[in-house]
C-alpha cells in the first residue's frame, strides 16, 4: 500500500465520470479481500459488482455520469443501528480504494433501487459505492470550519482537532456536513441531523474522526 489511509482522506474526492478501462485484476482482488474483511468486522453483507450498467438511476446516468459500471452494494441483514456500521465500512472501503489507485463515488439517494436490490440477497440496502479510474480525481468539496462543527470543554487537545479536521473531509449528502462533534476529557460524542442518511452519515464521519484522532486517544460517548 503506497498511500496511507490518512493520506487517502485528503486525496479522495467524489468522481462521477470514469474511463472505460477494465479494473486491474490485482486491484479488484485486493478490493474484494477488503470487502470480505469489513463484512466480518462490521457484520454486514457488502458485495462487489463489475461490468453492470444499471446501478444509477436513468436520468442521473445520462446527465451526470460516465462509464459507471463497477460498484459495491452497501447491504446487510436488517438489524438496529446497522446503517452506522454500513457507513463505517463504506468509509473504510472508499479510502482503501484510494490507497490502491481507484476513484470512488458514494451514492445514497440516486442509485437504481430495483436493479441493485435484485443483485443481493441481503435484506437491507442503503446505497452503492461506484469505483474505477476517474477521468480526473475530483476536487475538494466546500467545507465548514472546525469551530462550526465541534466544541470541546476546555482547551481542545491536538488529537481532537485532528479528528474534527478529518471528519470535515468525509463525504456527506450534498456536502452539507450535518454533524456536530463534542468532546470532554477523552470522551467524544457526535450528533447528526435527522434524515434518511443519518445513520450512514454518522458511520462515515465516525470512521474519519477515528483515523484523524487515533482510536486510542479517546472513547465514544453514546
Q: What pLDDT digit, counting tens, does each position of 152-165 carry? A: 999 999 999 999 99
Task: For 68-121, write each residue's pLDDT tens digit.
Answer: 999 999 999 999 889 999 999 999 999 999 999 999 999 988 888 889 999 999
Please tell me whether residues 26 and 127 are part of one structural domain.
yes
- For residue 174, pLDDT over 90 is answered with no
Where is the domain boundary, 71, 102, 132? Answer: 132
pLDDT at position 210, please?
Answer: 98
Mean pLDDT to the nearest integer, 166-184 = 94
Mean pLDDT of the chain, nearest integer: 94
pLDDT at position 147, please?
Answer: 97
Where is the domain boundary, 132, 154, 176? Answer: 132
Total number of domains constituting the chain: 2
- Do 56 and 111 form a contact (C-beta atoms < 8 A)? yes
| Element holding 220 (H helix, E strand) | strand 219-220
Please tell me whether residues 124 and 157 are part of one structural domain.
no
Please tell me whether residues 114 and 156 are part of one structural domain.
no
Task: For 9-51, write each residue's pLDDT tens digit.
Answer: 999 999 999 999 999 999 999 999 999 999 999 999 999 999 9
Q: For residue 183, what are the contacts with CB-CB under 8 A and spacing of at least 6?
A: 150, 151, 152, 153, 156, 160, 189, 218
- Residue 65: which of 111, 4, 26, 100 has the closest Cα? 111
Q: Is residue 40 part of a domain?
A: yes
Q: Is residue 140 part of a domain?
A: no
- Do 133 and 19 form a contact (C-beta atoms < 8 A)? yes
Please tell me whether residues 100 and 128 are part of one structural domain.
yes
Q: What is the CATH number of the domain that holds 207?
A: 3.40.109.30
Look up the domain containing 80 and give its range.
5-132
Please tell me whether residues 83 and 188 are part of one structural domain.
no
pLDDT at position 196, please?
Answer: 86
C-alpha–C-alpha distance, residues 129 and 147, integer Å: 30
C-alpha–C-alpha distance, residues 156 and 213, integer Å: 12
Q: What is the CATH number of the domain that holds 82?
A: 3.40.109.10
Task: For 188-216, write each residue's pLDDT tens digit.
Answer: 999 999 788 899 999 999 999 999 999 99
Q: Is residue 139 part of a domain?
A: no
Q: Is residue 201 part of a domain?
A: yes
Q: What is the DSSP string of 44-98?
A: ---EEE-S---SB-HHHHHHH-B----EEEEEE---TTHHHHHHHHHHHHHHHHH
The grid cell for 38 is 469489513
Amino acid at each position: 500500500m503506497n498511500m496511507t489511509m490518512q493520506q487517502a482522506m485528503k486525496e479522495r474526492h467524489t468522481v462521477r465520470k470514469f474511463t472505460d478501462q477494465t479494473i486491474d485484476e490485482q486491484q479488484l482482488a485486493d478490493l474484494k479481500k477488503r470487502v470480505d474483511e469489513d463484512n466480518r468486522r462490521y457484520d454486514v453483507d457488502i458485495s462487489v459488482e463489475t461490468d453492470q450498467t444499471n446501478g444509477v438511476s436513468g436520468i442521473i446516468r445520462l446527465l451526470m455520469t460516465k462509464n459507471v459500471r463497477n460498484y459495491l452494494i452497501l447491504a446487510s441483514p436488517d438489524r438496529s443501528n446497522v446503517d452506522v456500521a454500513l457507513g463505517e465500512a463504506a468509509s473504510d472501503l472508499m479510502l482503501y480504494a484510494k490507497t490502491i489507485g481507484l476513484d470512488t463515488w458514494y451514492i445514497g439517494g440516486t442509485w437504481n433501487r430495483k436493479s441493485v436490490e435484485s443483485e443481493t440477497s441481503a435484506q437491507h440496502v442503503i446505497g452503492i459505492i461506484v469505483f474505477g479510474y476517474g477521468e480526473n480525481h475530483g476536487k475538494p468539496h466546500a467545507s465548514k470550519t472546525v469551530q462550526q462543527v465541534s466544541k470541546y470543554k476546555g482547551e481542545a487537545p491536538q488529537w481532537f482537532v485532528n479528528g474534527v479536521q478529518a471528519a470535515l473531509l468525509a463525504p456527506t449528502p450534498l456536502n452539507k456536513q450535518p454533524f456536530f462533534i463534542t468532546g470532554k476529557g477523552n470522551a467524544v460524542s457526535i450528533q447528526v441531523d435527522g434524515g434518511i442518511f443519518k445513520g450512514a452519515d454518522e458511520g462515515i464521519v465516525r470512521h474519519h474522526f477515528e483515523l484523524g484522532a487515533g482510536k486510542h486517544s479517546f472513547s465514544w460517548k453514546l
